């Protein structure tokens, strides 16, 4: 649980920066609104996700991205090199849980334009950038809010090697400011959008539509930790789009296919 001193430092950080007031106001307002993230909602979301979970290969076959369910994997040497860099960091910000999923999806889609929220050490960024390099090149734009007072700013993106950095832009703002700016970097839309930031129901309710609009027809929208609440379930039901669920380490990832021209299978 976040300590009171840390919460006070965060409040002071955001209040002293007018561009971040929308983010701070959203978080503060959440304490006054009905709880959509409590245990009953989590249990409902977990049941919804568990009942629909399939292997990634089956989901991508359903989307027409692979004829046989065979999935490319992030090269072992790339992952070992990234682990070595991250191991020397004096802070902890999460591990490479879904790198193979993101790498496989990016390769099979032939993606060259990607948009994501949430960076931390940059494991997802590494997967996207490595896959797009194999696809012939591409561009990734990431939205990552500042981390006030915890000393981790200098280690954001540490997993990404120097040779991939020129193809990567980080918008260092909260979703409330950064998502629209990031999406504007791709006037023609993106092949993949990946949501891994504000996991609250209302945070997703704000961010999902922006990312979805940024995805081109035939592209993919991916959201981590959909078992936390019913936001992803409600979103795909409202949009009436083809979607799949993949389990990873007891957590669930949601993938939605935007209607339109289907990409060719590589």
Q: What is the pLDDT of residues 113-138, one digit of tens each?
A: 999 999 999 999 999 999 999 999 99
Mean pLDDT of 13-27: 64
Distance, CA of 136 to CA of 266 (rounded, Å): 13
Q: What is the pLDDT of residues 242-264, one digit of tens each?
A: 999 999 999 999 999 999 865 44
Distance, CA of 117 to CA of 143 (rounded, Å): 5
Reported as a pLDDT band with limits 50, 70 and 90, residue 266 is very low
Mean pLDDT of 76-102: 93
Residue 186: pLDDT over 70: yes
The tokens 């020397």 sit on which residue? Answer: 88
Mean pLDDT of 210-223: 98
Residue 147: pLDDT over 80: no
Mean pLDDT of 182-192: 97
Reported as a pLDDT band with limits 50, 70 and 90, residue 265 is very low
Mean pLDDT of 188-202: 96
Q: What is the pLDDT of residues 41-63, one digit of tens each?
A: 999 999 999 999 999 999 999 99
> Of the candidates 191, 233, 180, 174, which has an alpha carbon nearest to the alpha carbon of residue 42?
233
Distance, CA of 82 to CA of 75 (rounded, Å): 11
Residue 8: pLDDT over 70: no
Element (H, E) at 131: helix 123-134
Residue 175: pLDDT over 70: yes
> Considering Cα of 234, then 237, then 243, then 246, what sign does the dihedral take?
positive
Q: Please give the structure tokens belonging to residue 209.
A: 């539509």
Reduced to 3 states (helix: H, G, I; strand: E, B; else coil), residue 217 is: strand
Distance, CA of 158 to CA of 126 (rounded, Å): 9
Element (H, E) at 246: strand 243-248
> Of the candidates 29, 91, 43, 71, which has an alpha carbon nearest to the alpha carbon of residue 229?
43
Residue 191: pLDDT over 60: yes
Q: Which domains does the chain have, with CATH numbers?
A: 36-257 (3.40.50.150)
Residue 5: pLDDT over 80: no
Distance, CA of 84 to CA of 206 (rounded, Å): 36
Q: Please give the structure tokens belonging to residue 6.
A: 């840390």
Mean pLDDT of 73-94: 94
Q: What is the mean pLDDT of the chain?
A: 90
Distance, CA of 80 to CA of 84 (rounded, Å): 6
Q: Please give the structure tokens belonging to residue 126.
A: 């590494």
CA distances from 207 to 98, 159, 179, 250 (A): 20, 25, 7, 24
The pLDDT assigned to 94 comes to 82
Mean pLDDT of 225-234: 98
CB atoms within 10 A of CB 32: 6
> Of the candidates 93, 89, 90, 133, which has an alpha carbon nearest to the alpha carbon of residue 114?
133
The pLDDT assigned to 206 comes to 95
Classify residue 40 by burial, with Cβ atoms within 10 Å: 0-12, 13-18, 19+: exposed
The pLDDT assigned to 153 comes to 83
């Amino acid at each position: 649980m976040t300590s009171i001193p840390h919460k006070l430092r965060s409040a002071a950080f955001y209040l002293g920066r007018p561009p971040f007031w929308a983010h701070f106001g959203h978080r503060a307002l959440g304490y006054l609104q009905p709880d959509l993230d409590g245990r009953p909602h989590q249990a409902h979301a977990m049941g919804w996700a568990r009942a629909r979970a399939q292997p990634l290969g089956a989901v991508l076959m359903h989307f027409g991205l692979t004829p046989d369910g065979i999935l490319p994997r992030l090269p072992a040497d790339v992952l070992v090199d990234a682990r070595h860099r991250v191991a020397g960091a004096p802070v902890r910000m999460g591990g490479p849980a879904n790198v193979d999923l993101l790498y496989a999806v990016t390769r099979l889609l032939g993606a060259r334009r990607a948009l994501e929220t949430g960076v931390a050490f940059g494991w997802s960024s590494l997967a996207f950038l490595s896959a797009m390099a194999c696809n012939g090149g591409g561009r990734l734009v990431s939205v990552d809010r500042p981390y006030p007072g915890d000393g981790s700013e200098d280690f954001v993106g540490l997993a990404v090697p120097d040779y991939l950095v020129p193809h990567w832009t980080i918008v260092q703002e909260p979703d409330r400011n950064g998502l629209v700016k990031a999406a504007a970097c791709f006037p023609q839309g993106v092949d993949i959008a990946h949501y891994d930031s504000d996991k609250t129901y209302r945070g997703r309710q704000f961010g999902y539509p922006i990312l979805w609009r940024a995805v081109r027809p035939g592209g993919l929208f991916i959201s981590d930790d959909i078992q936390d609440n019913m936001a992803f379930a409600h979103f795909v039901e409202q949009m009436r789009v083809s979607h799949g669920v993949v389990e990873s380490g007891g957590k669930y990832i949601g993938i939605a296919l935007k209607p339109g021209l289907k990409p060719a299978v590589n």
